Amino acid sequence: MHGIERCAQSRLEFASGARYTPCNILTGKMPDMATTNPLQFIQQVRSEVSKVVWPTRREVFLTTVMVFIMAALTAIFFAFVDILIRWGLEAVLTMLG
């Protein structure tokens, strides 16, 4: 299989739910996978975690409150829609029978 055909095949496999293997469309070569030992991996993870900007306690509290408020509003909305659908269905069934 030539390079471009192999790339097309990997894209088809990805679309069908298979594991994605990226490749260079021009050369058709698969990328070399870098290997690191466990110690280097841990050092890289710690380095990346130190770059994360963690939310403050206040931000976490406010977003949690907003989630509860939105969940309550959504529940009220769907309860209202449920009542309307039930009322409409009862009206139709009463007219028919």
Identify the residue with better confidence: 35 or 14: 35
Q: What angle do CA 70, 76, 77 make, to 5 degrees?
A: 90
Q: What is the pTM of this model?
A: 0.51
Give the pLDDT confidence of 17-62 residue by residue, as tens digits: 555 555 555 666 665 666 778 999 999 999 999 999 999 999 999 9
Provide the mean pLDDT of the chain.
81
For 6, the domain range is 1-33
Cα separation of 41 and 2, whole Å? 35
pLDDT computed for residue 26 by the predictor: 62
Q: Are residues 47 and 27 in the same domain?
A: no
Domain count, the chain: 2
Q: Are residues 7 and 28 in the same domain?
A: yes
Which amino acid would we find at residue 10?
S
- Which residue has tokens 């931000």? 59
H/E element, 68: helix 57-96
pLDDT computed for residue 62 by the predictor: 98
Q: Are residues 6 and 47 in the same domain?
A: no
Q: Are residues 11 and 52 in the same domain?
A: no
Q: Dmax of the chain from CA atoms?
A: 76
